Amino acid sequence: MQARTVEQIAEVERKYEELQQQLRADAAAREAVAAARKAEQRWQQSRALATSSAYDAGVSAVAKATAVRVGATAGLRALGGEASDKILQSVRELLKSRSTLKSEANGVKILDGSQEGSYEWVTINYLLGNLGRTYQDTVGIVDLGGGSVQMAYAISKNAASRAPSLPAGQDNYVNEMYLKGSKYYLYVHSYLHYGLLATRAEILKATEDSGNPCILEGFDG
Consult the annotation and say whether 146 binds a ligand: yes
Where does the pLDDT of residue 43 fall: very low under 50, low under 70, confident under 90, or very high at 90 and above? Answer: low
79 Cβ contact partners less than 8 Å away, ≥ 6 residues apart: 87
Q: Which of 125, 127, 122, 118 is nearest to 150 (CA)?
A: 118
Round to whole Å and give the CA distance between 107 and 162.
34
* Domain ranges for the chain: 1-110, 112-199
Tell me the per-residue pLDDT of 88-111, one tens digit each, with 9 for 90 and over. 888 888 888 877 777 777 888 888
Return the pLDDT at 211. Answer: 67
- CATH fold for domain 112-199: Nucleotidyltransferase; domain 5 (3.30.420)
Determine whether 116 is an active site residue: yes
- Name the average pLDDT for the chain: 77
Where does the pLDDT of residue 45 fall: very low under 50, low under 70, confident under 90, or very high at 90 and above? Answer: low
Assess whether pLDDT exceeds 90 at residue 193: no
Consult the annotation and say whether 170 binds a ligand: no
Return the pLDDT at 154. Answer: 93
* Beta pairing class for 108-110 and 70-72: parallel
Share of the chain above pLDDT 90, in %: 19
Q: Span 152-174, mean pLDDT?
A: 83
For 39-48, 71-80, 148-157, which range has the lowest pLDDT when averaged over its residues? 39-48
Q: How many CB atoms lie within 10 A of CB 123?
A: 11
User: Backbone phi, then psi, for 172, in 5-degree steps?
Assistant: -70, 150
Consult the annotation and say whether 60 binds a ligand: no
Coil/strand/helix, residue 172: coil
Assess whether pLDDT exceeds 70 at residue 84: yes
For 39-43, 90-94, 164-168, which range has the lowest pLDDT when averaged over its residues? 39-43
Tell me the per-residue pLDDT of 5-37, one tens digit each, with 9 for 90 and over. 666 666 767 776 766 666 655 555 555 555 556
User: Backbone phi, then psi, for 109, in 5-degree steps?
Assistant: -160, 175
Residue from 13, 104, 116, 208 carrying the catalytic annotation: 116
Coil/strand/helix, residue 138: coil
Q: Is the whole model's pTM more than 0.75, yes or no? A: no
First to last CA, the chain: 61
Consult the annotation and say whether 221 binds a ligand: no
Q: Which of 190, 171, 194, 192 is nearest to 78 (CA)?
A: 192
